[in-house]
Chains A and B, each alone.
Chain A
């Protein structure tokens, strides 16, 4: 059974700092890896999707990498802003293509 872990569970940084969020998964046989953002009381917003054949994806100040062999993905946020404060979740799609397994999330606070 796939297990996805995100460390740390919470992170507080000053505005402007570059930061890395970590995601690890136990079964490397994944179809893709997805990163989401969740604001309090809201649904999830898709940020990036990395196919299993890819090493990284970029969108604006966000860069996500994937290392299947080590079972790890990272989300890099450049020049963090208070508006980046949210919970960030990663999720691994199994090879059967029918189930997305989520990590517990990292709650990020960017202080002005």
Chain B
């Protein structure tokens, strides 16, 4: 594995509450990504980062924000969780350039009631 951890691994929350998921990497990789995985939709990119304080939107960014104040941490925030955000969230990094092989974390299963 590429030294990627995600926390929490499981979370149950209620509609309307804020939620923050953390992705932590130990190897100083520049590029980091947040995906969600849903049955029938596969994996879809939410946001990505190409450096500290440098982030951009992916395919399904509405309702999500991200922050990267340190190289090793990429945070995904749901400002006001909705049931449609129930999903499995994966963080990924690339080991070299932006288009290199992506390595994935173990995932966070989020349930919004």
Contact = CB atoms under 8 A, between A and B. Distances in A.
Given A98-B56, A102-B43, A105-B42, A44 B104 contact: yes
Contacts of B112: none
Interface stretch (B14-22, B64-72, B73-81, B94-102): B94-102
Interface residues of B, number: 24
Contacts of B107: 41-43
Contacts of A93: 99
A99 B42 contact: no
A60 B59 CA distance: 34
Contacts, number: 49
B43 A46 contact: no
Main secondary structure of the interface of A (DSSP, over half): strand
A83 interface: no
Please provide the 4 A-B residue pairs with the shortest distance between their CB atoms, ordered closest to farther.
A43-B104, A102-B43, A44-B104, A104-B42
